């Protein structure tokens, strides 16, 4: 609607024609136009009539023709309609004040006189109105004025009905978008959200089928997460390369695409129709994007009306896709948070079990032994007092051993020295604590450096070292463990090597989820937090025995709490252990 306009003076009389008011109640231009044309023909006393109405440039016009039209009359009508339609479809709306009727005498056929006038809504041309007089009907003397008044009335009423219909549709769309937003924020269930999105998309553009595909970045494929329609179940969870099909083009280019004749578009993937038995005729596909990044596509197929998709459909689907992309990202983040929460809970449970095992097998057993020895000493005081000093010394050694284990346990739970004096001091203290075990020799080769790395980064590095050492002590039963730390200008390099029994990494990782231990996973996840690279070398990599764990952390400026004055060169390679082949799965 381009602006307000007034109803013609004789509109009230036109509205009182029998049955016309009932027609207007339908509020559909396509239903109203034929009845209005009949009334114009009746009012003018004509034998035939034709009406062309263009509600919006670029949209398909409404065409109605009644009566017996001969070929010459149809050709003339076509010329008149095409002249007006050409102007309107090019969006060059023209304005008239008092249009003069165009007339054509027809010598062949029942129609002898054609009269045509522009269809007006106020002063704006919205189509054309034509009547044909026959030899059986006398031509009234005031037929020109009658047709001009009819054109003004019909054009005004059709435009009002059209604009009312457009306003009603926009209101319906606003209400629907509100409902869409409510539904999308009411759930964090990703599958339900995807189903709702596809159903809404198909409904709002009147499509017979729809699908939503998400991008698998690692494999560069589109995955049919949801497919609704006659053959939708066949496509569920299937995959296509991102280089294939109209959906692949949209995913790759990040732009919407309308193809209303897929048979003549080389991008169309015909083998999908062959697989499903579904006949695709037209496609509208739009990208799902978050912060400029395409995460998937939303696609609708074949309008029920038989018309192709248009710019309005594209705008509607882009709006839905924008809301859906945000909701999908939120649901993914929620799922990720739940997974992280579950991992934290599992890790806490592992720590609790490990603490309980250490207390039971170590300190609790030693305290029990001390209690028994004290009871034994009480009996010796009565029967063999000369043996008491030796037993007391044994109790003293057991108590010292229990004290060392308590200190080591407390150190592992929270190494306060790491927070106060940094990573190097914490490693030195850690080695001293481990050295209380006389069956194990722990060697530290650490390159001094100036500056101070942020405590969170140091804490994460220390946790990885601690996990590697505990894994070696628990499973490898080594005699020696080497801790090595060095820096250069680009990276901090850490190694934990032992001479224990080692393990077949590939075999362990095949059934890792069933083992109930998350040591390797914890190390890798902590390394990822530092943008670091964790590598594991053991029997699977050709070592004869033992295990080597390496960690490389990039020394970016943001990880330093106090920048270093200078960093020495890396340690000599002969002190850095034998690497063997790389564990690419450990990255």
pLDDT tens digits, one per residue of 394-437: 878 778 777 766 766 666 666 777 778 888 988 988 888 888 77
Residue 391 belongs to some domain of the structure: no
pLDDT band for position 66 (cuts 50, 70, 90): very high
Nearest in space to 120 (alpha carbons), one of 129, 132, 111: 129
Instruction: Determine if residue 72 is left, alpha or beta; phi over 0 gives left, psi from -120 to 50 gives alpha, anything else beta.
Output: alpha
- On the question of pLDDT at 551 being above 90, the answer is yes
Banded model confidence at residue 547, pLDDT cuts 50, 70, 90: very high
The residue range of the domain holding 315 is 184-336
Let me know if residue 174 belongs to a domain. no
pLDDT at 362: 65
Residue 298 forms part of a structural domain: yes
Q: Which pair of structure tokens corresponds to residue 369? A: 């032994």
Among 120, 141, 169, residue at a domain's last position: 169
Q: Which of 141, 169, 197 is the last residue of a domain?
A: 169
Where residue 524 sits, what CATH number does that domain have?
3.30.565.10
26 pLDDT higher than 60: no
Q: How confident is the model at residue 506 (pLDDT cuts 50, 70, 90)?
A: confident
| Per-residue pLDDT band at 578 (split at 50, 70, 90) | very low
Q: What is the CATH number for 295?
A: 3.30.450.40
* pLDDT value of position 99: 56
318-357 residue pLDDT tens: 888 887 787 777 777 777 777 766 666 665 666 666 666 6
- pLDDT of 133 strictly over 80: yes
The per-residue pLDDT of the chain, averaged, comes to 79
Domain finish residue from 104, 136, 169: 169
- Whole-angstrom distance, CA of residue 290 vs CA of residue 39: 55
Domain annotation covers residue 216: yes
Q: Are residues 154 and 199 in the same domain?
A: no
The neighbour count for residue 327, using CB atoms within 10 Å, is 23
Q: Is residue 253 part of a domain?
A: yes
Give yes or no for residue 284 having a pLDDT over 50: yes
| 396 lies in some domain | no
Q: Which residues contact 388 (CB under 8 A, 6 or more apart)?
A: 377, 380, 381
- d(Cα 234, Cα 276) in Å, to the nearest integer? 6
Q: Percent of the chain, pLDDT > 90?
A: 17
pLDDT of residue 178: 67
Question: Comparing 99 with 426, which gets the higher pLDDT?
Answer: 426
Q: What does residue 495 show for φ and ψ, rounded to 5 degrees?
A: -130, 140
Shared domain for 145 and 258, answered yes or no, is no
At 407 the pLDDT is 65
The reply to whether 433 and 561 lie within a common domain is: yes
Instruction: Report in angstroms the alpha-carbon separations of 66 from 33, 39, 52, 116, 304.
Output: 11, 11, 12, 15, 27
Given pLDDT bands bounded at 50, 70 and 90, which one contains residue 459?
Answer: confident
159 and 194 fall within a common domain? no
Q: Are residues 141 and 103 in the same domain?
A: yes
The verdict on residue 322 lying in a domain is: yes
Domain count, the chain: 3
Determine the Cα–Cα distance for residues 149 and 143; give it in Å rounded to an integer. Answer: 10
Please tell me the predicted confidence (pLDDT) of residue 550. 95
pLDDT band at 4 (very low <50, low <70, confident <90, very high): very low
Secondary structure (DSSP) of 239-302: EEETTSHHHHHHHHH---EEES-GGG-TT--HHHHHHH------EEEEEEEETTEEEEEEEEEE
Whether the pLDDT of residue 577 is over 60: the answer is: no
Residues 239 and 96 reside in one and the same domain: no
Q: Which helix (H) or strand (E) holds 320?
A: helix 311-358
pLDDT at residue 58 greater than cutoff 70 = no
Domain assignment present for 236: yes
Looking at the structure, do residues 157 and 190 belong to the same domain, yes or no? no
pTM reported for the whole predicted model:
0.46
């Amino acid at each position: 609607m381009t602006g307000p306009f007034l109803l013609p003076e004789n509109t009230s009389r036109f509205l009182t024609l029998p049955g016309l008011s009932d027609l207007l109640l339908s509020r559909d231009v396509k239903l109203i136009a034929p009845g209005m044309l009949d009334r114009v023909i009746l009012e003018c006393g004509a034998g035939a009539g034709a009406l062309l109405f263009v509600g919006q440039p670029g949209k398909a016009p409404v065409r109605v023709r009644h009566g017996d039209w001969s070929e010459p009359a149809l050709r003339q009508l076509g010329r008149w309609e095409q002249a007006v339609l050409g102007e309107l479809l090019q969006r060059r709306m023209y304005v008239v004040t008092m249009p003069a009727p165009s007339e054509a005498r027809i010598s062949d056929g029942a129609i002898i006189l054609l009269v045509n006038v522009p269809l007006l809504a106020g002063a704006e041309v919205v189509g054309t109105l034509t009547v044909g007089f026959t030899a059986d009907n006398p031509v009234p003397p005031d037929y020109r004025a009658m047709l001009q008044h009819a054109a003004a009335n019909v054009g005004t009423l059709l435009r009002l009905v059209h604009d009312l219909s457009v306003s009603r549709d926009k209101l319906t769309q606003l209400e629907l978008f509100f409902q869409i937003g409510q539904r999308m924020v009411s759930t964090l269930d990703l599958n339900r959200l995807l189903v709702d999105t596809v159903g809404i998309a198909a409904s709002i553009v009147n499509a017979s089928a729809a699908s939503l595909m998400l991008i698998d970045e690692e494999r560069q494929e589109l995955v049919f997460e949801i497919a609704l329609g006659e053959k939708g179940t066949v496509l569920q969870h299937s995959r296509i390369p991102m280089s294939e099909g109209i959906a692949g083009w949209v995913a790759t280019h990040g732009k919407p695409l309308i193809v209303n004749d897929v048979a003549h578009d080389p991008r169309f993937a015909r083998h999908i129709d062959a697989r499903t038995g579904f006949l695709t005729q037209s496609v509208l596909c739009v990208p799902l994007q978050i912060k400029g990044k395409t995460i998937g596509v939303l696609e609708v197929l074949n309008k029920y009306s038989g018309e192709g998709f248009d710019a309005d459909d594209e705008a509607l689907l882009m709006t839905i896709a924008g809301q859906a992309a945000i909701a999908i990202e939120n649901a993914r983040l929620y799922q990720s948070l739940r997974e992280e929460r579950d991992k934290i809970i599992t890790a806490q449970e592992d720590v609790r079990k490990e603490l309980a095992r250490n207390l039971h097998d170590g300190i609790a057993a030693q305290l029990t032994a001390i209690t028994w020895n004290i009871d034994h000493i009480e009996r010796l005081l009565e029967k063999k007092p000369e043996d008491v000093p030796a037993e007391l010394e044994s109790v003293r050694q057991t108590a010292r051993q229990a004290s060392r284990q308590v200190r080591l346990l407390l150190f592992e739970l929270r190494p306060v020295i790491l927070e106060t004096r940094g990573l190097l001091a914490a490693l030195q203290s850690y080695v001293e604590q481990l050295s209380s075990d006389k069956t194990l020799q722990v060697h530290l080769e650490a390159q001094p450096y100036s500056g101070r790395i942020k405590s969170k980064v140091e804490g994460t590095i220390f946790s990885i070292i601690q996990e590697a050492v505990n894994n070696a002590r628990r499973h490898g039963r080594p005699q020696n463990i080497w801790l090595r730390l060095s820096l250069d200008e680009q990276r901090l390099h850490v190694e934990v090597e032992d001479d224990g029994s080692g393990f077949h990494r590939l075999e362990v990782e095949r059934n890792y989820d069933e083992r109930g231990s998350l040591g390797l996973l914890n190390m890798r996840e902590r390394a990822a937090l530092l943008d670091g690279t964790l590598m594991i070398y053991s029997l699977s990599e050709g070592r004869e025995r033992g295990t080597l764990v390496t960690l490389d952390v990039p020394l970016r400026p943001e990880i330093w709490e106090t920048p270093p004055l200078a960093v020495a060169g890396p340690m000599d390679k002969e002190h850095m252990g034998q690497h063997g082949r790389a564990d690419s799965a450990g990255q």
